[in-house]
Amino acid sequence: MNLLIDTQPIGLGQLREVWQKHCDVSLGPAARQLVERSQQQIDQVLQSGETVYGVNTGFGQLAQVRISEDELVHLQENLVRSHAVGVGEALAESTVRLTMVMKVIGLARGCSGVRPQLVDALCALIRHRVIPVIPSRGSVGASGDLAPLAHMAGVLLGLGEACIDGDRMPAGEALRRAGIEPLVLAPKEGLALLNGTQVSTAISLAALFRAEHMLAASLVTGALTADAIKGSDTPFDERIQLARGHAGQIDVAELLRNLMHGSEIRASHLDCDRVQDPYSIRCQPQVAGACLDVLRHVGSVLAVEANAVTDNPLAFAESAAVLSGGNFHAEPIALAADYLALAIAEAGSLAERRVALLIDSHLSGLPAFLVEHSGLNSGFMMAQVTAAALASDNKSLAHPASVDSIPTSANQEDHVSMATGAALRLHKMLDNSACIVAIEMLAACQGIEFHRPKKTSKTLETVLSKVRKLSPRYAEDRSLSPDIQAVAELIENGAFFDMARRILPSGST
């Protein structure tokens, strides 16, 4: 993938590609001019002798300390060294790649006062697949993601560690292998690299993309389950959805109708005497549609933030001003991540309820626990218990992180967002929900096959075939753990994304 970063915003679809595969990033000519003009503004400030935060002063509580001109380069290097205090397991390479690309996007806006050489150096890291090792813990999402971005910035200087093609090594060795010279920072450049919300945004974007995979799969399994219990597609009628008006609900109902279209099973009970299905079947457009609306809202917030300037201070060349503000505060990301957590939990909760429905012979009309000779065989009994445990775990994890704040930097940073923690916990929740949906997919396919020789729709039969390549029909008791993991991996890899691509935020941009 070749990505030219100029004056046009980068969309969610492009960011998804950055997350999925390696890319070659370069700075466009118009953006290069903006960067040059902004850097010249910093030079003019220094020549005038004006005091500007982070350019010729200390940082945070030490902002009142004026730094002499001959120490300005040392100041920026010290900032990077002192702030690289992250702990915990390293962020995924795909997340780090997103982080670096978004840092290039932010600097390319021409408000950060850095040299084009700095932006080119970041692009070189990306191009040569030099991925900084960034510990996942250590940011409260206030003055930007300071600690994790310091680990990223350190690699430009030959500090810390990096990976090339999965091999972890000292940063200096990685630069040598890639033929990249260590960078000497100019005034303001260390601060421009460390200030910013790119890490919390990247972690949140990765969660959004994974949530799209999970939600797409849950809509497919919801349609399978509806057919397996001989449920009605009448609640998915367009007229019902239009009467309420929510866009996500309308789109989910249309997708469910399309997924079930042409099912022989559905045709076989059009005139049955069942009046209404349980809510986990009947209210799928309302519940999953609301989750889809959350993903869309979160996507719009993250798309703005991915293209934003979030460091401080900002140099505005057109008005010859260097202004201190607070764009580094990650509250928009923290709130968006907390909102996304609710949708992830709800999608998993709804899938778990459908698993419980499938194994209950009184409600589903299927053999008890989806197995012949139940009693001798326990069937899907314990698979539902696992789904329940995971759904319960997600309820605890869904508690908002953004309502917490611990002042830092001797109370200079007296309100923080906790955005990075808010984003990180989404991935544990997605692990859980992917497994819940995988359990439902296995159970629903088992249910469909009890109706043979009748078939479900052509689209859903292709899903069943995919599942059966990984998991044979459950004829007698065996461990389902490997099957659940295999189908969960299928979901995580986006095997069902295209079935819902048109309605998902990164699929439609």
Residue 63 pLDDT > 80: no
Of the candidates 295, 306, 293, 252, the residue with the CA atom closest to the CA atom of residue 430:
295
Q: Are the beta carbons of 356 and 386 closer than 8 angstroms?
A: no
Tell me the per-residue pLDDT of 375-421, one tens digit each, with 9 for 90 and over.
999 999 999 999 999 999 999 999 999 999 888 877 778 889 999 99
The residues annotated with a catalytic role in the active site are 53
Please report, rounded to a whole number, the percentage of residues in the chain having pLDDT higher than 90.
Answer: 86
Q: Record the pTM.
A: 0.96
Mean pLDDT for the chain? Answer: 95
Residue 509 pLDDT > 70: no
Q: Are the beta carbons of 121 and 183 closer than 8 angstroms?
A: yes
Q: How many CB atoms lie within 10 A of CB 87?
A: 9
Q: Are the beta carbons of 443 and 435 closer than 8 angstroms?
A: no
Cα 379 from Cα 364, distance rounded (Å): 15
Q: What confidence score (pLDDT) does residue 311 get?
A: 94
Of the candidates 464, 434, 436, the residue with the CA atom closest to the CA atom of residue 451:
464
Q: What confidence score (pLDDT) does residue 49 get?
A: 83
Q: What confidence score (pLDDT) does residue 275 get?
A: 74
Q: DSSP readout, 434-462?
A: HHHHHHHHHHHHHHHHTTTTS---HHHHH
Q: What confidence score (pLDDT) does residue 69 get?
A: 79
Cα 228 from Cα 404, distance rounded (Å): 44
Side chain identity at residue 159, one-letter code:
L
Q: What confidence score (pLDDT) does residue 441 get?
A: 98
Cα 56 from Cα 210, distance rounded (Å): 43
Of the candidates 193, 400, 408, 422, the residue with the CA atom closest to the CA atom of residue 330:
422
Q: What confidence score (pLDDT) does residue 238 get?
A: 98
Mean pLDDT, residues 144-173 taken together: 96
Mean pLDDT, residues 64-75 taken together: 82
Mean pLDDT, residues 146-154 taken together: 97
User: What are the strands, taking DSSP E only, across 128-210?
Assistant: 130-132, 135-137, 161-164, 167-170
